[in-house]
Amino acid sequence: MTLSPVVDKPVDITPVVWETIKQKLKEKVRPVNFNNWFKPITHGEIAGDNLVISVPNKFIADWINDFYAEMIEKEAHFLLNKEVKVRFDIAVEQLAPASSSSTPGVPQTFQRKISAPFNHKYTFESFVVGKGNQLAHAACQAVSEFPGGHYNPLFIHGGVGLGKTHLLNAVALSALRRHPEMKIIYISSEKFMNEFITCVQNSRMKDFRKKYRESADMLLIDDIQFLGGKGGTQEEFFHTFNELRDSHRQIVLTADKLPKELPGIEERLRSRFAWGLIADVQPPDFETRVAILREKAAIDKISLADDVALYLAEKIESNVRELEGALIRLNAFSSLKGSLLTIDLAKEVLHNQFKPTQEEQRMTVEEIQKTVAEYYQIGLADLKSPRRLKNWAHPRQVAMYLCKKHLRLSFPEIGNRFGGKDHTTVMHACRKIERLLLIDNNLQNDIAILEKTIV
Ligand code: ADP
Ligand code: MG
């Protein structure tokens, strides 16, 4: 007879706890909700005063938190005779494969609903509306409320970093909240193409068509311009588009240009893109930039002083992504240095990133011009005049050279400051001075003295 060693194992009551709570919930919530939200959750564990539930993504966590946390906590209290708080352990979201095979760790029900990871920060609530994006914003809200209506397809276009992807995500999240049963596919056109190619290679076109033409209730494709020149994918997309639109299923597309300006896209597609509503996103104006900074700061719990917000909004004009990036960098710096996020810190950290303001530029160009004019004893106006007298042309070329070397200005910008000269004149001047400097000791001397004065 063999004796097995006695191992003093702690009893893991956790699975029992969660299964028991689940049973209770099953009695309390409607079957469809139970099946959607709770049935697939197989793991919950007690950690101190928390009941940690494993869910596949933040969306589900938020949903359960908003609608069911109290109920769960009550059941847990009853069962354990102590108060616990519901917490979530969120698995990394995974892209559902084209076929119906399951992704490990992600329950099937969730896969059906969430075909690609949404970015849960990109909601309508966190989107700041301004003059440049109000039509796009309103249209996106309309299609998430009434999908498949008048604005089908909805085509959003505009430059990089202006919120197209944000809006597309917001449509998906908002539609899903309103219509939890909807199968929403959100995908970039590149991924769409890759999936298509994989399916062609593996003879799985049936799966592909089933996914996009039959089961999708809403199709959101980001950056459609990447389909330019991809004939096979465009052909497939053409049929997908027709089938969805004919059966009043919503399509939303984004691109960096208007449909008619998209290179390499077939005419029949371009014209279809314009069948619904076209809305653009433009760079935000100053007030909107300030509002966006405040919104981002609030979301990330960064305390942002007014003067810092105004400074950033003034310096970064074209692109919201850069605006956000500057804020994040600043915040990282201030916490690394353990100092407050002040305007001085902002200037110190971000100084090199910015072009000097027009004011700063004019002042410095003028300084250089004044110094050079005095040195060569000619009038300031002569430096900018169109006349080619040698006495004036040489100092003018020196001044242009110094502007190019010391200010971050382009040739045309310098030309403008010298009485509207052509950029080729400035280029010629700079090259000439550079060449002369190699051989002309007097000029080397002149430049050295001038640079001492201006720099
Ligand atoms: P696009 O897809 O047009 O290149 P994104 O949607 O990726 O731009 O936006 C870039 C960043 O700027 C994102 O972090 C997004 O949240 C933010 N953003 C853009 N526009 C706005 C806005 N109006 N309000 C709030 N955030 C915005
Ligand atoms: Mg984008």
Whole-number average pLDDT of the chain: 85
- pLDDT of amino acid 360: 61
Which residues are CB-contacts of 436 (< 8 A; sequence separation ≥ 6)? 443
> Which atom of ligand 1 sits closest to the CA of residue 295?
25
pLDDT digits (tens, 9 = 90+) for 323-350: 998 998 888 888 877 889 999 989 888 8
What is the residue whose two structure tokens read 């050279």?
A: 401
**pLDDT category, 288, cuts 50, 70, 90?**
very high
Q: Is the pLDDT of residue 97 over 80?
A: no
What is the Cα–Cα distance from 217 to 215, expressed in whole angstroms? 6
- pLDDT of amino acid 407: 81
Q: Is the pLDDT of residue 4 over 60?
A: no
Q: Which two tokens stand for residue 240?
A: 């997908």
Q: Which two tokens stand for residue 430?
A: 């700079």
Q: Which ligand is nearest to the CA of 160?
A: 1
pLDDT digits (tens, 9 = 90+) for 289-303: 999 999 999 998 999
**Parallel, antiparallel, or unpaired for β 250-255 and 218-222?**
parallel
Contact between residue 316 and residue 289 where contact means Cβ atoms under 8 Å apart? yes
180-to-60, 228, 393 alpha-carbon distances in Å = 11, 34, 74
Average pLDDT over residues 304-321: 91
- pLDDT of amino acid 352: 64
Q: Is the pLDDT of residue 179 over 80?
A: yes
- pLDDT of amino acid 235: 97
Burial group, residue 405, by CB count within 10 angstroms (0-12, 13-18, 19+): middle
- pLDDT of amino acid 13: 56
Q: Which of helix, strand or coil describes residue 53?
A: strand
**Parallel, antiparallel, or unpaired for β 154-158 and 184-188?**
unpaired
Q: Whose CA is nearest to atom 11 of ligand 1?
A: 321
> When comparing pLDDT for 351 and 71, which is higher?
71
Q: 98 CA distance to ligand 1 centroid (A)?
A: 28
Q: Which of helix, strand or coil describes residue 158?
A: strand
Q: Within 6 Å (CB) of ligand 1, which residues are found?
A: 122, 126-128, 133, 160-166, 292, 295, 320-321, 324
Q: Which ligand is nearest to the CA of 163?
A: 1
Q: Which two tokens stand for residue 336?
A: 């690394």
**pLDDT category, 239, cuts 50, 70, 90?**
very high
Q: Is the pLDDT of residue 102 over 60?
A: no
Most confident range (mean pLDDT) of 14-28, 420-434, 441-455 is 420-434
**pLDDT category, 359, cuts 50, 70, 90?**
low
**pLDDT category, 15, cuts 50, 70, 90?**
low
Query: How many whole angstroms from its chain centre is CA 452?
Result: 45
**pLDDT category, 233, cuts 50, 70, 90?**
very high
The residues placing their C-beta within 5 Å of ligand 2, an ion, are 164-165
Q: What percent of the chain has pLDDT over 70?
A: 87
Q: 167 CA distance to ligand 2 centroid (A)?
A: 9
> When comparing pLDDT for 382 and 98, which is higher?
382
Q: What is the dihedral of CA 127, 129, 134, 136, to 10 degrees?
A: -10
For the chain, what is the largest distance between any 2 Cα atoms, rounded to a whole number of angstroms?
116
Q: Is the pLDDT of residue 317 over 90?
A: no
| Total Cβ atoms within 10 A of residue 152 | 19
35-to-32, 61, 89, 111, 346 alpha-carbon distances in Å = 5, 15, 20, 13, 51
- pLDDT of amino acid 328: 87
pLDDT digits (tens, 9 = 90+) for 379-427: 999 898 888 777 889 999 999 999 988 887 788 889 999 999 999 999 9
Best mutation site among 137, 162, 257, 293 for ligand 1 pocket (most ligand atoms within 8 Å of CB): 162
Q: Is the pLDDT of residue 105 over 60?
A: no
- pLDDT of amino acid 58: 72
Q: 368 CA distance to ligand 2 centroid (A)?
A: 43
Q: Which two tokens stand for residue 445?
A: 């001397």
Q: Which ligand is nearest to the CA of 169?
A: 1
- pLDDT of amino acid 350: 80
pLDDT digits (tens, 9 = 90+) for 417-440: 999 999 999 999 999 999 999 889
Q: Which ligand is nearest to the CA of 287?
A: 1
- pLDDT of amino acid 385: 86
- pLDDT of amino acid 444: 92
CA–CA–CA angle 180, 186, 189 (5° rounding): 165
Burial group, residue 294, by CB count within 10 angstroms (0-12, 13-18, 19+): middle
Q: Which ligand is nearest to the CA of 167?
A: 1
Burial group, residue 105, by CB count within 10 angstroms (0-12, 13-18, 19+): exposed
**pLDDT category, 107, cuts 50, 70, 90?**
very low
Q: Is the pLDDT of residue 280 over 60?
A: yes
Q: Is the pLDDT of residue 120 over 70?
A: yes
- pLDDT of amino acid 137: 97
- pLDDT of amino acid 362: 66
Q: 323 CA distance to ligand 1 centroid (A)?
A: 10
- pLDDT of amino acid 327: 92
Q: 237 CA distance to ligand 1 centroid (A)?
A: 26
What is the Cα–Cα distance from 377 to 365, expressed in whole angstroms? 18
Q: What percent of the chain has pLDDT over 90?
A: 53
Q: 131 CA distance to ligand 2 centroid (A)?
A: 20
- Give 353's Cβ-side CA count (13 Å radius): 16
> Which atom of ligand 1 sits closest to the CA of residue 223?
2
Q: Whose CA is nearest to atom 27 of ligand 1?
A: 163
Best mutation site among 128, 133, 166 for ligand 1 pocket (most ligand atoms within 8 Å of CB): 166
**pLDDT category, 181, cuts 50, 70, 90?**
confident
> Which atom of ligand 1 sits closest to the CA of residue 166?
6
